[in-house]
A and B are shown apart, each in its own frame.
Chain A
């Protein structure tokens, strides 16, 4: 007996948990309550039930938009087809269709993104997670009035707002845009919460405009953060066997390599390798970094020479940065 009871409890909680996760009670649901009374009159037990007290659940129109990128999306300047990801959720309790619009001209930023070259708003089609502009799993371009997302109560739609970024923007500049989702039920979007729209709900029930005014606006942003590494190698000096500056067999050439990391972000495990041409012979023990001597062995210092190659490891470098100059010498054969 006891075991059976435990199992029943388990089943019941499972059911409860699943309904608790679910969306609001669907519009047009009838909620009914019947009371039961057990009693005794003159020692005779009996019972009666009440007629049901019942009412119908009206449709609530509510919508939410969330911006999914953890932070401003990194872009280059210029850049093409960079997307921000939003999720549209029908937090009402009936099927609802939403129109989408973007606004590029927000204030409080450094530049305005423009509509993406391949399309301005895309709808995730579910074939492949993430944004694809082309290929067999390409997401669907949003066309207002044609493929407006139609969501059941609690339903969601992933949306990509796709932008081009203008040229010549300094690193660190931000560009804001907003996405607006509006209920397509006539009279709903922007209406005062509590506005009742007679017969506009599913199955002809009334639709009530919720706290979100049947409309949601959400900002997202881009940041110009193209990180680039430039390497400049120059000849610092030439000393020929006759103490002159001519390049001839026997001349010792001092090379200098300057590494610059521009933009923003972090370059990880930044390693410079410089293989020597066959006509040069490395001058042992000649590597300096920022003027400080380094050994040729692979050891605690960050430079080494082996297999005719000079290697210097700078580790993680936070941009922007100009790294200490590398110098070494080689003799022309």
Chain B
């Protein structure tokens, strides 16, 4: 796969894109919503170019896709011990350093979600040799929310992948 011209690609995806929002799930007044988007470069009326996110419905290999997961507490009691887990989807590679989430500790797995650690501690073992894991080898991402999520509050986390 060759890297694709981002501008051309984004403008195209912009034309193609339909809604990719999944409706929020709710349980005990806790909601969870997952969205896939791409960044599109748009030109504003005054000729300025800026990046805008649009839901992705279709994309070609090489496209960078942003997954954003929003969790909310619609109940009356605070929610604690919040841990959010997202697999890096099949046929995509995690983009190094792209996982974000306010007030969270972020760890990654390279063994299909069995164990999690910070990037500096992730190792790949093969033929009795150990080497640091590459971001493209991450299989899962885990966000551990610090403290409690108060009633009526929501927060979100995000990461990026490139379609292989």
Contact = CB atoms under 8 A, between A and B. Distances in A.
Contacts, number: 185
Interface of B: 1-2, 4-5, 8-9, 11-12, 15-16, 20-30, 32-36, 56-62, 65, 67, 69, 71, 75, 77-87, 89-92, 110-112, 114, 124-126, 136-137, 139, 149, 163-164
Given A37-B32, A53-B20, A32 B77 contact: no
By DSSP majority rule, is chain B's interface helix, strand, loop, or mixed?
A: mixed
Contact of B61 (A9, A34, A35, A93): A93
Nearest to A38: B83
B36 A33 contact: yes
A194 B34 contact: no
A39 B25 contact: no
A37 B2 contact: no
B75 A41 contact: yes
B8 A193 contact: yes
Among A56, A62, A194, chain B packs the most CB atoms within 10 A around the CB of A194
A330 B160 CA distance: 89
A39 B30 contact: yes
A41 B148 CA distance: 10
Contact of A35 (B9, B23, B86, B124): B86
A49 interface: yes
B60 A211 contact: no
By DSSP majority rule, is chain A's interface helix, strand, loop, or mixed?
A: mixed
B4 A210 contact: yes
A42 B83 CA distance: 16
Nearest to A28: B58
A60 B8 CA distance: 13
A51 interface: yes
Given A25-B163, A208-B12, 16 more contacts: A12-B112, A12-B139, A16-B137, A31-B92, A35-B69, A41-B80, A42-B77, A46-B30, A49-B32, A51-B34, A56-B58, A57-B59, A57-B91, A60-B61, A93-B60, A93-B61
A192 B4 CA distance: 12
B83 A37 contact: yes
Nearest to A55: B56
23 contacts: A5-B111, A5-B114, A12-B111, A25-B163, A29-B91, A31-B90, A37-B84, A38-B85, A39-B81, A39-B83, A41-B28, A41-B78, A42-B77, A48-B32, A52-B22, A53-B20, A53-B36, A54-B20, A56-B57, A59-B60, A60-B4, A60-B60, A205-B58
